[in-house]
Chain A
Amino acid sequence: EVQLVESGGGLVQPGGSLRLSCAASGFTVSSNYMSWVRQAPGKGLEWVSIIYSGGSTYYTDSVKGRFTISRDNSKNTVYLQMNSLRAEDTAVYYCARVGWSGSHFNGMDVWGQGTTVTVSS
């Protein structure tokens, strides 16, 4: 079964760090495009970052320089290292696989259940 399971969320003080993990099963993360999307309490969806199968990465402006997406192929896991956290980073963070046709993206077709990050003193 194709599945994503996030972990690593929690309560952290402003300025602190957290590393989120997204463990995949049923497919190989290194052969796919993987993304993080977040949702602040009561708000809409916000795309955060993507890592290509080739290793290229992209970020939304508000997290550039603070967040880093990476993967461990041996663990079939994608990570989101979050530093210098702010109150506005409080959200449920979802990991998602980005469908790829061979020439273009096909939307985010597999999602995890989400992990909650709360930034507060």
Chain B
Amino acid sequence: DIQMTQSPSTLSASVGDRVTITCRASQSISSWLAWYQQKIGKAPKLLIYKASSLESGVPSRFSGGGSGTEFTLTISSLQPDDFATYYCQQYNSYPWTFGQGTKLEIK
């Protein structure tokens, strides 16, 4: 199975900050990576697919990058609504696997 490792596990930041979350795969997954946002008690929401493609309706302050084994999710200017938990997920091969999550907290 492909292991997905996110860093950091927790990130404290302020409104207006630029933040980056990293996701590393245990083997190459090309660009078959998605990013999701999840708020407490809610279903996940797709933000980015194919590593860098922005899902329709998602604000442009979210961007994704990387390929192979290292990927990033960047939020250019944090808004109050962005404080949540973020997950990466590979869909290069079965079983699909998620990272352990990064909790983005208000500093």
- Interface residues in chain A, defined as those with a beta carbon under 8 Å from any beta carbon in chain B: 35, 37, 44-47, 50, 58-61, 94, 99, 104-109, 111-114
Contact = CB atoms under 8 A, between A and B. Distances in A.
Contact of B87 (A45, A60, A94, A105): A45
B53 interface: yes
A45 B102 CA distance: 12
9 contacts: A44-B98, A44-B99, A45-B98, A50-B96, A58-B94, A99-B49, A107-B91, A111-B45, A112-B43
Interface residues of B, number: 25
B25 interface: no
Contacts of B55: 107, 109
Interface in B54-107: 55, 87, 89, 91, 94-101
Interface of B: 1, 32, 34, 36, 38, 43-46, 48-50, 53, 55, 87, 89, 91, 94-101
Contacts of B96: 35, 47, 50, 60
B36 A106 contact: no
A61 B91 contact: no
Contacts of B43: 94, 111-114
A106 B95 contact: no
A106 B53 contact: yes
Given A60-B96, A105-B49, A108-B34, 8 more contacts: A44-B101, A45-B98, A59-B95, A104-B50, A105-B91, A107-B48, A108-B44, A113-B43
Contact of B32 (A50, A105, A108, A113): A105
B46 A109 contact: yes
B32 to A, nearest CB: 7
Contacts of B99: 44
B53 A45 contact: no
Nearest to B34: A107
Contact of A104 (B1, B32, B44, B48): B32
A44 B34 contact: no
A106 B53 CA distance: 9
B38 to A, nearest CB: 8
